[in-house]
Amino acid sequence: MSLEIKVPPVGESITEVTLASWKKKDGDQVEMDEVIAELESDKATFELTAEKAGTLKIAAAEGDTLAIGAVVATIEEGGAAESAPAADSAPATTADGNKPATADSPENPANAYAPAPQAGGGESLEIKVPPVGESITEVTLSRWIKKDGEAVEMDEAIAELESDKATFELTAEKAGTLKTLANEGDTLAIGAVVCKIEGAAAGAAPVQVTPSVADKVNESPQAAPSKGTTYASGTPSPAAAKILAEKGVDPASVNGSGVDGRITKGDALGAQVESQKPKIESQKPAASTPAAPQVTGTRTDRREKMSSLRKTVAKRLVAVKNETAMLTTFNEVDMSPIMELRGKYKDKFKEKHGVGLGFMSFFTKAVTEALKEWPAVNARIEGEEIVYSNFADVSIAVSAPKGLVVPVIRNADSLSLAEIEKAIVVLAGKARENKLTIDEMTGGTFTITNGGVFGSMMSTPIINAPQSAILGMHNIVERPVAVNGQVVIRPMMYLALSYDHRIIDGRESVSFLVRVKQLLEDPARLLLGV
């Protein structure tokens, strides 16, 4: 009697799921409550378990989208029960009166070189995904630091997990041998089992397994099928078949160079050229029309699964565009006063404070002063209320290896230029090493982004929700400008302020940006507070 395994209800708003992967294969024997597949919704990934023991019959393929209640597989009874007595039905003795060599007996040649079991084994310990934040329900296993079967020490980093906000390491909770249960790229719910640590690492040395007699027999030339007798001989790969079909080349006329004689894409391309030679030669007398140029080189696509960070950034950017009345106002600033001040004192500044004097500290300080005069630019909307902050936590956009992150400089309005530069150095270093914590990337009230380091001349930056404004810096270009009725060459930078028009009026946005321009073009005001 067979039992149907269906997609269970996984939430009120979820009507369908995707079959991410099969953990057991079609025809495998499964035990009750054993994990057989992994299902994925738009909110989480969860496991599908067998509701009884038996033989698995798969009814859906990996990647299929299934409605709630759809049949995923069936389990046939009796598969495991019928196979069990067969092992006990072997004769007690052979024809010469000796006991036959069983699969696990020392007389069996296949076990002659098997490694002895390791002493000092212990119970296995499950390593689960730890809680990493109130709003985080799932993480992605970005990579394994230790491999399956390796010995690990207690508190040693074994894997790297990635949430939509930060990357952190998973450590071993005891010493032993690592048994991985999840693959790189898998999305795991909080509390899901990632791996197991079995036994104790003390005294355990890597065991080198010698090939068994059975393996040697299987590797002998007599056991291996000869080329031309396998199903792959003369069979083109999907890419090769497409090329041959488009050019009208018979696969039987192509010699395959792949495994067991399979026709590869390279073979198909070569056959295409060879098949065209006689046609080209026959058309030489009537060469009235030029032949179309042949495409040379390889044309390939590469697909990569989006990281959790990239998916979250994409969702938030689209949400900001859809949910805010975003506008951008522009201005330009003459950078020569700051450049002169920086060139004059940067060596002494570094000697005294141990950090370089960059442009970002001037912009951060100018922004915090302007926010005091125009508090709406530092506010945010929560429901039907406007929240005004009497402090300035400035977010600095940083390009990290895994994507754009925005660490926060707390209380930037009360920091000096040197303190701001030190905070930027620390946060940027953590961003490059993927060591920023969630607290270091949340809670900002205003954001500054510098596209000028990549050569951007002008842009319209997108607001970093739930904030209401963002300042965009751009590259510094020497341009002719009019000063006191004369044309002079000055290093100029375009500034862009994107803001939410629901909370910030045009007068406030323009006045804020003009104030930032005034403070940058006359840096003495930053020191005097005027």
Pull the structure tokens for residue 107.
């007389």
Per residue in 341-380, pLDDT (tens digit) is 999 998 999 999 999 999 999 999 999 999 999 999 999 9
Q: Which residues contact 46 (CB under 8 A, 6 or more apart)?
A: 10, 38, 39, 40, 189
In 23-70 the beta strands, taken as DSSP E runs, fall at: 29-30, 35-40, 45-49, 54-58, 65-67
Euclidean distance between the first and final Cα of the chain, in Å? 86
Residue 33 annotated as catalytic: no
Fold of 125-198: OB fold (Dihydrolipoamide Acetyltransferase, E2P) (2.40.50)
Return the top range by mean pLDDT from 41-50, 218-227, 315-324, 507-516. Answer: 507-516
**Contact assessment for residue 237 and residue 251, using Cβ atoms and an 8 Å cutoff:** no
- Sequence-distant (6+) residues with CB within 8 A of 338 are 359, 362, 520, 523
Same fold, 125-198 and 316-528: no
- Average pLDDT along the chain: 79
Which of 16-25, 294-303, 421-430, 504-513 is least confident? 294-303
Q: Is the pLDDT of residue 86 over 50?
A: no
Question: 358 in helix, strand or coil?
Answer: coil
Which of 448, 482, 477 has its CA nearest to residue 464? 448
Catalytic residue list contains 474:
no
How confident is the model at residue 118, as a pLDDT?
44
Domain boundaries, the chain: 2-84, 125-198, 316-528
pLDDT tens sequence across 153-180: 888 889 988 877 677 788 888 889 999 9
CATH code, residues 2-84: 2.40.50.100
User: How many of the other CB atoms lie within 10 Å of CB of 363?
Assistant: 24
Predicted confidence (pLDDT) per residue in 108-117, tens digit: 444 444 444 4
- Catalytic annotation, pick one of 26, 42, 148, 501: 501
Q: Quote the pLDDT of residue 91.
A: 44
CA distance 485 to 467: 41
The span from the CA of 418 to the CA of 279, in Å, is 75
Peptide bond into 466 cis (omega under 30): yes
Residue burial 376-404, b: 16+ Cβ < 10 Å; e: rest? bbbbbbeeeeeeeeeebbbbbbbebeeee
Tens-place pLDDT, residues 375-416? 999 999 998 899 999 999 999 998 877 778 899 999 999 999
DSSP characters for 91-134?
Answer: -SS-TTSSPP--TTSTTSGGGTTPPPPPTT----EEEEPPP--T
**CATH ID of 316-528, from 3.40.50.1950, 2.30.30.180, 3.30.559.10, 1.20.1250.20:** 3.30.559.10
Q: Report the alpha-carbon distance of residue 376 to residue 374 in Å, rounded.
A: 6
CB contact set of 259 (below 8 Å; sequence gap of 6+): 232
State the catalytic residue, choosing from 347, 474, 505, 522. Answer: 505
**Residue 116 neighbours by CB under 8 Å, 6+ apart:** none
Query: Which structure tokens are listed for 335?
Result: 């950078």
Q: What's the token pair of residue 376? A: 């709406």
